Amino acid sequence: MRRRRPDEVRTEGVQSGTDAAADDCRGGVPKEMKRLEIRVRARMRTKLVYERESACEINRERLHEREYKLGCNLKLETVFSKETEKMARDPAWRHPLSQ
């Protein structure tokens, strides 16, 4: 474990001689920087979780919409004959909420 000379001491954080020597062994990252990095990572993690949840909600809504449209399409196909199939393809007919 090598001791630093006064001209080698970094000015990033206020450290005693023992902290500086311990930093030498760990690769020279001050404790404050590590804490900040952990805080930033935690914040990013929560942000990712929120994004994932909102994406799931959007997908769930899309899935329900798709199921609803499929159900309507099936009903339309069974109810309407071939002549009215053009009307059944119209989005306004397919999805009552879109009117």
pLDDT values of the chain reduced to their tens digit, one per residue, 99 residues: 556 555 555 555 554 555 555 544 556 666 666 666 666 666 666 666 656 656 666 666 666 666 656 555 555 445 555 556 666 666 665 555 544
How far apart are the C-alpha atoms of 95 and 80, rounded to whole Å? 15
Q: Which of 15, 39, 41, 38 is nearest to 28 (CA)?
A: 15
State how many domains the chain has.
Answer: 1
Q: Please tell me the predicted confidence (pLDDT) of residue 93.
A: 59
| Rounded Cα distance, 22 and 28, in Å | 8
Q: Is residue 50 part of a domain?
A: yes
- Assigned domain for 40 exists: yes
Give the per-residue pLDDT at 82. 58
In a domain, 33, yes or no: yes
